[in-house]
Structure 1
């Protein structure tokens, strides 16, 4: 059996309760702290985490559940969550639907079974209404990143997708473009609805013509963007295209160049997300950067307010963080 707090107290010349206070982060006299740290190091003492959990009725762990751990966009969100969790002295347990063969809502059992103190559900997919209703009715600490189904009573954080596309259209309008096409994404992606909404709102507010023939759907892949742009180019008449993600934009860029149109002299192309390769294609892609780390930090901060009992009506708050327009070389003036 390893050393106990009784051993630490005896070697440091203090009481067991003083050792306990120090280990739980409470203030002790400077000379007492020095004696305790020396004793802990000499004895190679480690706290009994399970015993501490029983005393505090906490695991000091949170779960972070993502729909696919290989999604490159989640790395920034995870960094943001970890930053806040580390400051709070918490560990993160990372789980993926694809590796655990579960649906998102089933991971709430981790909370109900007391394995974690809170849970952050991260997904860019649309969430089922019944799942959101279950989340809303739960009294446990839960935070969402992504779709909240426009449902009140749920704490969620996301990027303002509509504002991002709106700013893109405004930027193109400022360059003199009046005929602007759009390539949308798959229906299962929650952001798709709001990005298209931003396009329609900007076109209307700027008094620009919305031509249904200039709107094409893709699956948010390079190939999907390539095929969508080839179809758009048959319609002709537009001078710029807003692709609703960068992979689509890169496919559209290639289709445009193969069609014999110079980008950006004859056609302007814009993406969304600012993935790494966007800076390295030719011409480099103008796009919108999502604040992934800030999203993660905001979600974690909200979760810990719930864990600490200081939610302050956060259950009814939906935070939309503004993306940033990144201007590169794929757009030109008319």
Structure 2
């Protein structure tokens, strides 16, 4: 019962965002500003604060890092292998979108779920996941879109897109301060704490605002394939790596949340800009978001009892 109650705040916040959007109490144009604020300011503040408070020694998180990278490699390979399927209707735009929705993850939902289910220990794993995976995911997705889309971006363009990512920038700043042994002044630390209090809630409401129930009717084999990759197969692969490496239950759950969360919304922008199937991305993202509301507490109940 306590686990069921713990997931309700996540559901309520996503539902509140949906209602605020559909009733137009907050106009659609304003949600773009909220998403930008969350992506560029609020979530980076949470990351900086979390990384600076975390013990990032290899002994503490080396196994987690191996499991995260191993899972990403398996899912990325499976997603890329879809290119080899003898299905003429897939095409390059559909293939690049399936690769993106299989490998990207929504930090808003994953961070909120980790905070709700695992507390500070889970947030520390999330910080490690973001530092390791987000640059890797951005580079790989841009390379795939460049290779199989009408838009070509050279190595300099790939580096520039990754460097401009606010989450990557936040991780770089925090890791630099961490390994330099810098302690933030109390007013700065308290400011980050105040910013972080509303960051995850606002991010979840923004996710809810992007849900379109009408798009749930747009179902085909490509959507089904994307849902098998994430959120069904990916978290199971991570759980397998975690069992082999010997991660504890909290570390395992936090890593599972990374791969059970829906794809990140910024992949939709890349799909539009670089010749991917943006409509398919929206369909998959809608289904993944709905399913994650069920999948996340399922894994929490399985791993935490």
TM-score range, shorter chain: under 0.3
Is the radius of gyration larger for structure 1 or structure 2?
A: 1
